[in-house]
Structure 1
Amino acid sequence: MRFWNALNAGGMLHIRLGAAGKNVQKGVTMRFSDMDLKSIRVFRAVVDNHGFAGAQIALNISQPAVSAHIKALEERLGFTLCQRGKSGFQLTEKGERVYDSIKTLLHAVEHCETAIGELRHHLTGVLRLGLAANTITDRNFSIREAMERFNLRDHDVSPNILIGTPDLLEKELLNGSLHLAVGNFTSNFDVLRYRKLYDEKNTIYCSAHSPLFTIDDAEISPTKVRNGNFVTRAYLNQIELSHLPGTRPCAVVSNMEAQAILILSGNYIGYLADHYAAGWVETGELRPLSHPELDRLIPFHLVTRKGMPPSQVVEVFIADLCAAMRV
């Protein structure tokens, strides 16, 4: 099937469905009302939050209201967007295509709001920012100061922050759902622009239940830890162990919190960001196994998409972030 939409100057959305390789059927034209746009935004929230309950929390409206918006949108379109029930939430094939199209539509609306704000010399719109998880405790990453600087400006900008793994953030940048992201990216997509901001220091840690916890500092060496039960983060592509040839992880997890859980159990050792582990070190639950040949600096980058001129909102926030980072 083929699906596309186009928004013209009259506020019309053209939706056409047809079999691939055949003549597309005559399009169904919808003129959006304010209620249609509300229902579209609710539908996007349902998909982004994996169901009606998640959308209810995200939008702060009742679940019957969410259901009413989805039902109204389906009646307007003439087909079912999603299956819901005991088996869980799932988009239909047409629902997936509508979702892709409404993202384009809502981005266009946001761009229009921002452009009008620029004409009025006033920051208006949405700032969609992606951040790597577990950075709030890192004093080298001045995201709070950047937000403080930005909020000193006269603006009507709604910040929308997504916390996720680097691969998720890159995916959302590529599909246009994020304006910018900051994280410890190991890939390098040609269509994305990477600007280094700082290095995050990572050290091998063991728990108080590990036999390595009581060894003397002088005994810490690559040889001593090489045969440990390492747990690594999948998105780092094993760069944590690249300096220990022949060492293989015993466990691979998706994020640093899961890594910390396994290390705290006593059966594993692994790299954690020093700022993240500091609280457990202070309580005596973790110990850093620091050594010049073992300590790692993980670069963090500011990433935007090439070929898409940033809005004034994004440009101003990036300027505030770079000023806060002193870069």
Structure 2
Amino acid sequence: MSKLPKNLTQHDIKLLRVFQTVVDCGGFTAAETELNIGRSTISIYIANLEQRLKLNLCQRGRQGFSLTREGQAVYNAIQTLEQAHQQFSQLVASLTDECSGELVILTADQLDQSRLTLLSKVCAALQQQAPRLTLALDVMPLQQIELALLKDQAHLALMPGYRQIDGLQYQHAFSTPIFLCCGSAHPLYSVTDEDINDETLAGYPAIHPGIDINPEGRKQLQKLKASARAYQFDTRLALLLSGGYIGFLPAEIARPYIENNQLRFIRPSQYQYPFNQSIVTKTSPRDSAKVQLALNIIQPLLACLDGIKSD
């Protein structure tokens, strides 16, 4: 059986569309009005298509119009071709409008200097490369961030890598140290590090982040007596400044309070763990072009951020 040319010509497509219309209308006579051509011309077109395909596509005569088995198969293939054409048109339309609309970036808590630096540079690059985009930044609890990404309500998140779930993809961004702290009103504030050990710490109320964190962090938290819960760093900071609790804070957030003698680190060489950050996106996002644009901007910035941290 011979086939149509591998690359369909405009004439081939025209013949296929005439055949499709005839089938949709249920015969040659009904198709005349739809195609705005005479029945004899339609007959010539169908005969031409059958000759090119070396197939008998339909029966026409006194008993009416009907498709042959081969004709039905060709008609089904035309439907598939039509769907592919529509999908292509939709794709082109989406690409034309890919750099407009809203791009939503979420974070999970108060921004330390590392994350603030990264996000500010990302926003500057997005504004320059895609000025028609409207940027929307927001802070949400971790579980709400995951749900927003899965529902295509957000495009990207910068969040702790505390777990990985199906449907999302994770790229390690950077780690910052997180240290055990207490406020100036806490009994341990004036105790030297040499006089503080695991048993000492176990006697004081401590703040738990309220989520499952990395293994190093879990080991540290197991040494403490969890008596309060605060994932957000600003709320955790309030508990620490109250003088009633000990708890972990990233060095960059704690530093101004350390310098003002409002907080202190407790044996920082021993009681610390890495605070790992990840760039999180949906595995197959609806607005894939926007997500990819953001990721392409972020990649080179991560290396620059490492340089800023080391200064």
User: Considering the TM-score relative to the shorter chain, is it more than 0.5?
Assistant: yes
Report the structure, 1 or 2, having the larger helix content.
2
Question: Which range moves more in the overlay, 214-223 or 194-203?
Answer: 214-223
CA contact (8 A) 1:232 1:238 kept: no
Seq. identity, %: 17
| Larger of the two Rg values belongs to structure | 2
CA contact (8 A) 1:130 1:163 kept: yes
Separation (CA, whole Å) in 2 of partners of 1:297 and 1:140:
18
Displacement after TM superposition at 1:113 (Å): 11
Q: Which amino acid aligns with 1:128?
A: V
Matches within 5 A, 1:186-205: 186-205=162-181
Give the match's secondary structure for 1:243: helix
Matches within 5 A, 1:61-80: none
Q: Which amino acid aligns with 2:227?
A: C
The TM-score with structure 1 as length reference comes to: 0.59
- Number of residue pairs aligned between Structure 1 and Structure 2: 215
| 1:213 corresponds to 2:184 | no
Give the match's secondary structure for 1:302: strand
Separation (CA, whole Å) in 1 of partners of 2:162 and 2:220:
16
CA contact (8 A) 2:205 2:226 kept: yes
CA contact (8 A) 1:192 1:303 kept: yes
Question: Residues 243, 284 of structure 1: CA spacing in aligned structure 2 closer, same or farther, 3 A cutoff?
Answer: closer
Separation (CA, whole Å) in 1 of partners of 2:92 and 2:181:
49
Separation (CA, whole Å) in 2 of partners of 1:255 and 1:219:
30
Separation (CA, whole Å) in 2 of partners of 1:139 and 1:305:
20
Q: Which amino acid aligns with 2:283?
A: K
Give the match's secondary structure for 1:188: coil
| 1:168 corresponds to 2:144 | yes
Give the match's secondary structure for 2:100: strand
Aligned to 2:24: none
Aligned to 1:126: 102
| 1:146 corresponds to 2:119 | no
Question: Residues 154, 196 of structure 1: CA spacing in aligned structure 2 closer, same or farther, 3 A cutoff?
Answer: closer
CA contact (8 A) 2:204 2:225 kept: no
| 1:279 corresponds to 2:256 | yes
Give the match's secondary structure for 2:152: coil
Aligned to 1:226: 202
CA contact (8 A) 2:175 2:274 kept: yes
CA contact (8 A) 2:101 2:134 kept: yes
| 1:157 corresponds to 2:138 | no
Aligned to 1:257: 234
CA contact (8 A) 2:281 2:291 kept: no
| 1:292 corresponds to 2:269 | yes
The TM-score with structure 2 as length reference comes to: 0.62
Q: Which amino acid aligns with 2:163?
A: S
Which residue, out of 246, 251, 258, partners 1:269?
246
Which of 1 and 2 has higher RCO (CA within 8 Å, sep 6+)? 2
TM-align CA RMSD: 2.8
Displacement after TM superposition at 1:282 (Å): 1.7
Displacement after TM superposition at 1:140 (Å): 7.8
CA contact (8 A) 1:117 1:123 kept: no
Q: Which amino acid aligns with 1:315?
A: Q
Deviations 1:7-52 (A, max 9, x none): xxxxxxxxxxxxxxxxxxxxxxxxxxxxxxxxxxxxxxxxxxxxxx
Separation (CA, whole Å) in 1 of partners of 2:208 and 2:90:
43
Displacement after TM superposition at 1:290 (Å): 3.5
Separation (CA, whole Å) in 1 of partners of 2:225 and 2:147:
28
CA contact (8 A) 2:100 2:130 kept: no
